[in-house]
Every structure is written in structure tokens, then in C-alpha cells.
Amino acid sequence: MSLLRDSLCAFAAGSVVCCVVYGATALPAETRATIDNFMFKPDTITVPVGTTVVWQNDDEIPHTVTSVDGTFHSSPLDTKDKFSFTFDKAGTFEYFCRLHPRMKGKVVVAVVNGGTVR
Amino acid sequence: MAKDEKDDVDRRAALECMIWAGTGVLWTMAGGVPRSSVLGISEAKAQPASGFTFLQISDSHIGFKHAPNPNPLATLEEAIAKVGALPQKPAFMIHTGDITHLSKPEEFDNADQVIGKAKLDTFYVPGEHDVIDENPGTAYLERYGKRTQAKGTGWYSFDNSGVHFVGLVNVANLKAGGMGSLGAEQLAWLADDLKDKSASTPIVLFAHIPFWTVYAEWGWGTEDSAQVLDLAKRFGSVTVLNGHIHQIMQKAEGTLTFHTARSTAFPMPAPGTAPGPGPMKVPEDKLRSVLGITKIAVKRGTQPLAITDSDLTKV
């Protein structure tokens, strides 16, 4: 019991610290992208780790946002449908449209250091 | 983490005139040479009664809700009504894909209900819009695959009146950066399917995406189709019927003839004439005034194919 209580206390303390750090340095980041005329716009998006990218399909034809390595995949997005994915890991994520595979895009997720993406 | 949100949400006139909705193509087999004619043209009715005919419809896109045709079910119904009015009943019909817009059950249901009114045996191949359900292609195969004893993602063959028909799938498992694709398994099956056929057997191959590269920038082609054409070239008459590009295009190469059908839903721009291959906007009154305006004569050999455009109001 006492171990559990101690753990909970430690957990609670940690949460407070986390919240402070979070509040001080990083607002939840969101980046918007569109699908327009059979193109992902912009076709390369560079974001810090933790960013949520939101794609909206502005075409009258459905498209998908499907990563080449299987990390993420949307359902078919009809006109004005949106798909979002939060990038928790650094790396380069290439994606395409499963219906129109010549449509390609890339999300470059970079580690943040001193507020700048590198 | 990932989530979907559902928000509500010139070129020349001559070219515009050859690309319309609400039609089917009537094919006549005479001496192994297919000839096609767009429905509504008087010449279609003048086909010899002794011929073996079949129909091709394509790109119904049931579920599409935008300009220039927010009700593609109605234009499909019109096309089917024309089929029903033919003086000579076709042997069967093929549908070269994009039955639905979003692979939804109700879209397939609505399409089936209307197409069923033709009372013709109908053979389907899927378009990319028919295989975007949660488990890609499952809904399509459950609905259409059993009757044809389809293999893999839905390919099959059958014989009718001495002609060998092969339905192929070039919209499954597409790879980033690529175009339409058949894949090794399907190509191996096709080689086996054709190997015992005599060179004098007329062959009809049908699939959704064109088998020749109409326009690579828009993905209008099939990456591994050269292997199909290699398998087919020993035959005296090979006809390749496709859809996907919502306009009539034809090409002849040796004993091979290629033809793409129009959509019954909406037209698309001629290659390279628009920023992308989306629906082409046309006024509603114009849409119907140009129905059934294209006549095609497909001849064996290397002669250029004859395309004649004429407005129905002038027929």
C-alpha cells in the first residue's frame, strides 16, 4: 500500500512538473494542409515533433492520405472531409493517395531544439 | 491518434462535344471485328440483326454529388433506358468500373437496382472508387466476384459466341508514384488463361484504367500493361475496352484496338487541358443536348479509327 501511495505521489508530482514545462514551452501545434486539384499542398511539410497535421480535401473527387510505410492512413476523404494525424516521432514520412498514386507528399518531423526545428 | 472528421460540406468545343454523360457503347462482333456505336445514333439501329452485340457502360459514380451532375443515378437510368430501347437485344453488358463513387453499400445497391432494369447479364470490373472500403475491395468482391468465380482481386474470363472475354483488375494495391497496375499474380493467371486459345479466337480484354498511357501526368495508364499486350499480340483480333478517363479515346496498334468509354456521370477534361483530372463543369442544358453524339467505327488493322461527333439535335 505504502509503495502504491508513494508511486501515486511521485506520479502526481511528475504531472505537475510536466504541466508546467508543457505550459511554458509548447502549445499544441497544428498545421493545416489541403488537397487541391489532385495535389497535396504543400507537398512537403516540416514540423516539430508533436505536431498534428490536418489535411482537408478540397477536390470533388475523393482522395486518401496514406503513408508509404503504413504509419498512418485515412479513410477515403470525400469533398471537405478532413484527416488528422499527430506526429510523435521524428523522421520523414512519405505519403500518397491510394486512388491516385501519382499524388505524393512528405511530412518531415524534426526534433525541436531551442524553439527551432532542425 | 488518427481520425476522420466528416464536415458537411476551352478546350475546343469539338472536344467538349465528344465527352458526354448518359450513354453506353454498343459493340457488334462481325467476323471477329468489333465495331462500336454510341447509343442514340441512328446508325446503331442499323447494325445487322445477325450480329452478336454486347454493351459497355462505365463510370457510373453513384454517390457523386457535385457539378456538373449532382444526380448520376438519373443519368445512369437514362443510359439504361436507351439500352432497353435497342431494337436488337444485346447478349450482355460489361461495366468497366467506378460503379460507385465511395464504395458505400447503398451506392452499390442503387447502381444494381438501376442497371438491373436492363435485364441483361452484366459483367463488372472494379474502378479505384469501388475498392476504397475499409478492407479494400471486399465489398466489391462479395457482390460481384462469386458469379464469375473471380480470382485474386476480381479477375476472370468467359466465352461467348466464340469470343474470349477477360475482365482484369488494374486498380488494386497501387503503389506510391505509380499508375494502374495488374501485378505478377494476375499476369501469370492471364498467361495461363490465354495459352490454349487458338490465334484465331477474337479476344476482348476489359479493365478500368486504360492499357496504354493516355497521359502519365494524370496517372492515365497501366504500368505493366506491356506484358498483357505481349501475351495478346499473337491473336488476330484483340480489343481492349477501358473506362476511367470519362471520354472516348481510341488507338490501334497492329491487331490490337483500344477504346475508352464515356462516363454516365460526368465528363473529364482532355489530357493536359486542366490543372487536374477532376469533373469538367458544363451547363446542365448542354449536358443533355450532347448525349449520344459520338459514333466510333473500330476496324481491324492499323487504319486510324473513325470518330464522328454529331449533336443529337441534328440527327
Has residue A82 got a pLDDT over 90?
A: yes
Question: Which grid cell sits at B100?
Answer: 460507385
Which residues fall within 8 angstroms of residue B182, CB to CB, at 6 or more apart? B168, B169, B170, B190, B207, B222, B224, B225, B227, B228
Contacts of B269 in chain A (CB under 8 A): none
Query: For residues B274 and B268, what is the distance between their CA atoms, to the nearest angstrom?
Result: 9
**Interchain contact, A80 vs B9, CB within 8 Å:** yes
Tens digit of each residue's pLDDT (9 = 90 or more) over A21-46 = 444 455 669 999 999 999 999 999 99
**CA distance to partner chain A, nearest, from residue B178 (Å):** 6
Q: pTM for this one?
A: 0.80
Single-letter amino acid code for the residue at B211: F
Residue from A32, A35, A40, A60 to probe the interface with B (highest B Cβ count within 10 Å): A60
Interface test with A, best of B132, B140, B171, B223 (most A CBs within 10 A): B132
Cβ of A83 within 8 Å of Cβ of B277? The answer is no
Distance CA B115, CA B120 (A): 8
Q: Which fold has domain A28-117?
A: Immunoglobulin-like (2.60.40)
Instruction: Tell me what pLDDT residue B252 has.
Output: 84
Q: How many other C-beta atoms lie within 10 A of the C-beta of residue A88? A: 11
Sheet holding A44-48, edge to edge: A44-48, A104-110, A91-96, A66-67
CB contact (8 A) between residue B4 and residue A77: yes
CA B236, CA B233: separation in Å to the nearest integer?
A: 8
Residues B72 and B246: their CA atoms lie apart, in Å, by: 13
Distance (Å, whole) CA A105 – CA B176:
10
Per-residue pLDDT of chain B (315 residues; tens, 9 = 90+): 444 444 433 333 323 323 344 456 666 665 555 666 555 443 434 333 345 678 889 999 999 999 889 999 998 998 888 888 877 788 888 999 999 999 999 999 999 999 999 999 999 999 999 999 999 999 999 999 999 999 999 999 999 878 899 999 999 999 999 999 999 999 999 999 999 999 988 888 999 999 999 999 999 999 999 999 999 999 988 889 999 999 888 888 888 888 888 888 999 989 999 999 999 888 887 665 433 323 333 333 333 333 333 232 332
Residue B12: other Cβ atoms inside 10 A: 9
Q: What is the pLDDT of residue B236?
A: 86
pLDDT in tens, B204-240: 899 999 999 999 999 999 999 999 999 999 998 888 9
Fold for the domain defined by B16-314: Purple Acid Phosphatase; chain A, domain 2 (3.60.21)
Report the pLDDT value the prediction gives residue B179, as an integer from 0 to 100.
96
Cell numbers found for residue A13: 508530482
Nearest to A43 by CA among A53, A34, A31: A34
Q: Please, are residues B169 and B186 in contact by the beta-carbon 8 Å criterion? A: yes
Contact residues, chain B to chain A, C-beta under 8 Å: 1-9, 64-67, 101-103, 128-129, 132, 134, 136, 174-179, 216-219, 275-279
**Sign of the four-CA dihedral B134, B246, B170, B202:** positive
Q: What is the interface pTM, i.e. ipTM, of the complex?
A: 0.77
Decide: helix, strand or coil at residue A72.
coil
| Domain extents in chain A | 28-117
Give me the total of CB pairs closer than 8 Å, taking one residue from chain A and one from chain B. Answer: 95
Contacts 24+ apart (CB under 8 A), B137-140: B137/B172, B139/B103, B139/B105, B139/B108, B140/B103, B140/B108
Distance separating alpha carbons of residues B266 and B176, to the nearest angstrom: 27
Distances (CA, A) of B86 to A70, B44, B81: 50, 9, 9
Provide the Cα torsion B240, A96, A61, A43; round to 10°: -130
Q: What is the DSSP letter of B180?
A: B
CB contact under 8 A, B4 and A38: no
CA of A17: how far to CAs of A88, B146, B159, in Å? Answer: 20, 61, 74
Give Cβ neighbours of residue A41 (< 8 Å, ≥ 6 apart). Answer: A33, A34, A35
Least CB-CB distance to B5: which of A82, A86, A104?
Answer: A82
Cell numbers given for B30: 462481325
Q: Measured between alpha carbons, how far apart are the two ends of chain B, in Å?
A: 59
Instruction: Please report residues of B whose CB lies closer than 8 A to that of A55.
Output: none
What mean pLDDT comes out for the span A47-73? 96
Question: Cα-atom radius of gyration of chain B, to the nearest Å?
Answer: 18
User: Under an 8 A CB cutoff, do A100 and B128 touch?
Assistant: yes
Residue bearing the bigger pLDDT, B81 or A58: A58
Instruction: Grade residue A12 by pLDDT with cuts at 50, 70 and 90.
Output: very low
Subunit contact A38:B8, Cβ cutoff 8 A = no
Say whether A78 and B102 touch across the interface (CB within 8 A): yes
